[in-house]
Structure 1
């Protein structure tokens, strides 16, 4: 549940921040008559995101061939790992200039009276984050990290909290440490991505796409079983495995060390 909460909180915050910047700037331009078109774009983005989620479920779970389904799940896990990792780096590099770019685009659209462009701008902001959320949830379900009920509770909680936070930000709550929030939630997102990557490696080994080498490097399930209550929580958030194979352990360690190194360098340059 924590993983799904964090993902929707982060994704929702990015989407609603962009929408909030658009609405705020329309007010500064005294062009509030265009706000309804921004809301329309948001609504369309939400609807299309829901349709994409449904298509994902139909395509993946509607497959009769279990081998193809297995391969598709591996691809989605790897793709989600890549997108999650890129998202963290992109946000760190773009956070300083994204507000200015959005305001410049809105000014041009208002000057030209381009209603379709305003709808599309809001639609794109929501759809991008919506697609990423669908992708991440599918990946988490494939890695057996969350149940549907826990995932929905976490997702709804994260979404509501992101809306509340954006509301206070737009109302002038300057004391909210938004930069630190993105920095450290970015680190947690990378840890989640590491767990997804580990799950992809395990699935590739099950499909004989990767060698196992050593079936069990160590087994500490008698201390903390990854199927127990707390172990399940750690598996969902950190990709914890109480009895990993050699390939699983090495792959996870290489990804995490590389991801954390990039995270530190990116945020040191973004200061």
Structure 2
């Protein structure tokens, strides 16, 4: 199972589940229960659209000759989307309930509610497809397992929170998951740079020291610690580990890692203190 795919899907699916739960709870509270079926229609349509979009992306990849260029650009696009998602949740996530309820209060008619639910849920599905595309091109089976496990985990947690009343500090959860996602994104940035370097060299471009090997650990490909081995592949997905790197990859990967970690810590202010109240898993959403 691809650990990065699990983490990304778990977080995106949890965000989608939280949004749907907020919409349904608001409709019940305002005596609009007859409109809840429209919410589920919007959810179903968004899931179908996400699946079709993912299939189209993989179909496009299968027909390409310059796969290194596609994987490099797809990795960069995923990094951009992950970064924007982390920033949005850090700055806007704490007011997500008020923002959604404000929009739902002005949403009248079944088509409007279906459309609104489709848009907010499909956004999460679209982000998930873009995030997982670089992983799927490397390991489709592992990525699929990570996707399924992430969906199940998110739905279980969402049910515990909104179905059984479990209390959890979601801002603390998103804080720590954002830090993990920064490492995943840094690894994607590094991998994308590696693929672009390979593509450029195949095209006969002279990259200078950017394409030169910065280090080589000399670990054989059959070793567990190789970045394609049982242990190394997990480290590669979560932390961008590789037994060999070019200078260009090191500059991009670790440059992004340092900058993104600094911004996450700055946006959140500081690491959330685990006070007695938070240890009781108080919900903030």
TM-score by length of 1: 0.90
Counting matched residue pairs gives 262
1:83 aligned residue: 81
* Correspondence list, 1:1-271, <5 A: 1-63=2-64, 66-67=65-66, 69-109=67-107, 113-142=108-137, 144=138, 147-171=139-163, 173=165, 175-208=167-200, 211=207, 213=209, 215-222=212-219, 224-268=225-269
How many angstroms apart in 1 are the aligned matches of 2:8 and 2:229? 23
Q: Matched residue of 2:214: which SS?
A: coil
Shift of 1:171: 3.4
Q: In the TM superposition, what is the alpha-carbon distance from 1:212 to its structure 2 partner?
A: 5.2
RMSD over aligned Cα atoms: 2.0
Aligned residue for 1:30, secondary structure, equals: coil
Instruction: Indicate if the aligned counterparts of 1:201 and 1:210 stay in contact, CA closer than 8 A.
Output: no
Provide the secondary structure at the position in 2 that maps to 1:84.
helix
Deviation by residue 1:82-128 (Cα, 9 ceiling, x = unmatched) = 1011110111111121110111111222xxx3211110111112211
Q: Unaligned 5+ residue runs, structure 2?
A: 273-285
TM-score by length of 2: 0.86
Q: 216-225 or 49-58: which moved more?
A: 216-225
Note the C-alpha offset of 1:216.
Answer: 2.5
1:172 Cα deviation from its structure 2 partner: 6.2
Checking the alignment, whether the CA contact within 8 Å between 2:49 and 2:122 is kept in structure 1 is yes
- Which runs of 5 or more structure 1 residues have no equivalent in the other structure? none
